[in-house]
Structure 1
Amino acid sequence: MAKNKTFRWSDECEPHKARTKSIIKQHPEIRNLIGRNPYTFLIISGCVVLQLALAYVLRDAAWWINVLVAYCVGAFACHTLYVCIHECSHNLVFKNKTANLWAGMIANLPLLLPSSVSFQKYHLKHHSFQGVEAMDADMPFHWEARLIDNSALGKAVWLLLYPVFQALRPFRLTKEIKLFDKWTVVNWVFEIVFVAAVAYLLGVKAIVFLLLSFFFSVGLHPLGARWVQEHFLTHGEQETKSYYGRLNVVNLNVGYHNEHHDFPSIPWNRLPQIKNIGGNHYEELGYHTSYTGLLFKFIFNRELSVFSRTARTNRGKENSAPIRAPKAASQVNAQEVA
């Protein structure tokens, strides 16, 4: 039985700033990896087209086929699109911030729930204030953790409905970020027009397929174990863990999470190089190699619960020691530095 009925509290700052400084001191050449990857937009376009093509093909298919394809194919495309939205939030696709906003909204289309613009606002706070409940929308609510507790059924339902819980958390950041602005409105209008067009042209089953694909991509699915992998205390007190499994191939190296938090100005295609350059800085850390194994461990291990996270009141210093690329490379947005 899980003993903790509260988060693990720490008086220390989050661990990434110190490791970033140490790696840069030893390996200044790592700055050469800073930049952008505009080819990510081709991946966005391909996944959007794939989801629309599947929605078209499945518009008259049996419901069980709809669910099966959503779980086995659509979830992977949607998870990749979610990773692309994440890349856009760090301005790692295009140099122009507005272009990244539009790329994120296009990636958002098959996910049906307008969230790309809001995600950018609260995700950057997550990097700067990891574990600070009032600032980090990735941290569960206390009531959320108490509600789910450590039962297998509760954790399975929590994963299944993860997008719902995730959508509620940013509202506690209203004193720190402006949740609604003109770009938020554009995101909503753009998404509503898309959903209406798909419903009108392809019908209800197409909408259900897209919705199921999204919920599976971040929920009760091996891909949903990503949320457990990133910051849950699955082994000891290490609060960020990477995943070095096969799914990084189709999900744009999203598993390299320690590397990303240490250097959030480096695009997805160069994250493995951070690990290679960083050497023992990463080799000495715990990591995961199987999302499926982690999914079952989280659900059925009573020692793990939604409380298995590190929380802190020590905010540290936001955006301290900005990392700059060499002059020949793109400059770093100060907001992108952990």
Structure 2
Amino acid sequence: MNCKQQFSWSDECEPHKLRTKKILSQHPEIRELIGRNPYTFLIILLCVALQSTIAYFLRDSYWWLVFVLAYFVGAFADHTLFVCIHESSHNLIFKKRGLNTVAGFIANLPLIFASYSSFKKYHLKHHAFQGIEALDADMPSYWEAKLVGNSTIKKALWLLFYPIAQASRLTRMNKEVKLFDKEMLLNWLLQIIYVGAVYYFCGWKGIVFQLGSFFFSVGLHPLGARWVQEHFLTDGEQETKSYYGPLNVVNLNVGFHNEHHDFPSVPWHNLPKIKKIANEHYDCLASHTSYTKLLFKFLFCRELSVFSRMARSNKGKSVTKVAAAIEVSA
């Protein structure tokens, strides 16, 4: 079977703000779920402490144990930290923007590379311009999808090195987003200090443990299937799908992805409540319940590839419709 060589294309704006308008007209009580969750900061501190402690105790251990713990423990802690960075980017931890930035910087520490500052800038664009390549860093480039094709090995490598693939997309947004600024420099400075401390106290095994945890947490791991779950066309033309499985405990409910895109101002602990209140709008949508099953489906199904995404180029139309929906639902 030949691999699909093009993205699917839509002339409509992203679907979420229009659904938000409809849901709020029927369930205005959902507005009460908007807010912040300062307890997320405690989760950040716990995960940072866990990753740092494991790195310290691995300094004189076997190399095989370094990778085993990175895959089965570190990946989960780092994935939780990524979600905390996500919450910070939406200012869903504290009321003050500066405190959310501090939380994001701290959550970033065990992830080795400075990613909080850039993620915050590009992720908010993703919500407004879903599927528009020039503005959505979550949207793969044509050359990226073409390079990977439908080869199981290439798809596995693409997932394994997903952070590199995503970073390669940022240059196309230079005209819209200023990447390098004081916050980015501070982000890198803090990472350099932290990595230096890990090397001093934990040696190379501590560094490798945290690098492994980082790449496994978003790559070739059941948790990495989250990137396929969120916006890949794995079942028809529905471009956003939620995950209702046990790993939402680690994901801090970010698996409720339709709910999050519909109501990005609702913190993670309230996302299941959105589905419960407006269940008639979500029960009819396709969803996933197993990241492991989805991971193997993506890797071995030749009908699925990086081209299995919905793309759109009508920026003006998207902006107009989304703005109209926001105005009505505000």
Relative to the length of structure 2, the TM-score reads 0.96
In the alignment, structure 2 segments of 5+ residues that lack a partner are none
Deviation track 1:261-284 (CA, whole Å, cap 9, x = no partner) reads 000000000000010111210000
1:288 partnered with 2:295: no
Matches of 2:6 and 2:88, distance apart in 1: 34
Contact 1:137 1:169 in 2 (8 A): yes
**Which residue matches 2:99?**
99
Contact 2:149 2:305 in 1 (8 A): yes
**Which residue matches 2:65?**
65
1:291 CA displacement? 0.1
1:2 CA displacement? 4.3
Matches of 1:262 and 1:58, distance apart in 2: 42
Contact 2:112 2:211 in 1 (8 A): yes
Contact 1:2 1:304 in 2 (8 A): no
**Which residue matches 2:212?**
212
Letter in 1 for 2:153: L
Contact 1:75 1:214 in 2 (8 A): yes
Greater shift in the superposed pair: 218-227 or 175-184: 175-184
Deviation track 1:245-274 (CA, whole Å, cap 9, x = no partner) reads 000012201100000000000000000001
Letter in 1 for 2:243: Y
**Which residue matches 1:190?**
190
Letter in 2 for 1:246: P
Contact 2:3 2:305 in 1 (8 A): no
Contact 1:58 1:206 in 2 (8 A): yes
Q: Indicate the SS of the match to 2:247.
A: helix
Matches of 2:105 and 2:124, distance apart in 1: 17
**Which residue matches 2:110?**
110
The count of corresponding residues between Structure 1 and Structure 2 is 326
Q: How does 1:1-338 map to 2 (within 5 A)?
A: 1-315=1-315, 316-317=318-319, 320=323, 321-322=325-326
Letter in 1 for 2:127: H
| CA distance 1:33–1:178, change in 2 (3 Å) | same
Q: Indicate the SS of the match to 2:303.
A: coil
| CA distance 1:152–1:31, change in 2 (3 Å) | same
Matches of 1:111 and 1:95, distance apart in 2: 25
1:323 CA displacement? 7.9
Q: Indicate the SS of the match to 1:246.
A: coil
Letter in 1 for 2:186: V
Q: Indicate the SS of the match to 2:85.
A: helix
Contact 2:141 2:169 in 1 (8 A): yes
Contact 2:216 2:224 in 1 (8 A): yes
In the alignment, structure 1 segments of 5+ residues that lack a partner are 326-331, 333-338
Deviation track 1:81-123 (CA, whole Å, cap 9, x = no partner) reads 0000000000000111111111101000000010101100000
Matches of 1:251 and 1:309, distance apart in 2: 22
1:6 CA displacement? 1.1
Letter in 2 for 1:198: V
Letter in 1 for 2:62: A
Contact 1:87 1:93 in 2 (8 A): yes
1:4 CA displacement? 1.9
Contact 1:35 1:265 in 2 (8 A): yes
| CA distance 1:118–1:248, change in 2 (3 Å) | same
Q: Indicate the SS of the match to 2:9.
A: strand
Contact 1:79 1:217 in 2 (8 A): yes
Letter in 2 for 1:273: K
Matches of 1:278 and 1:242, distance apart in 2: 14
Matches of 1:8 and 1:119, distance apart in 2: 26
Contact 2:3 2:302 in 1 (8 A): no
1:314 CA displacement? 2.1
Matches of 1:141 and 1:81, distance apart in 2: 26
Relative to the length of structure 1, the TM-score reads 0.94
Q: Indicate the SS of the match to 2:76.
A: helix
- Structure with the larger helix share: 2
Q: Indicate the SS of the match to 1:249.
A: helix
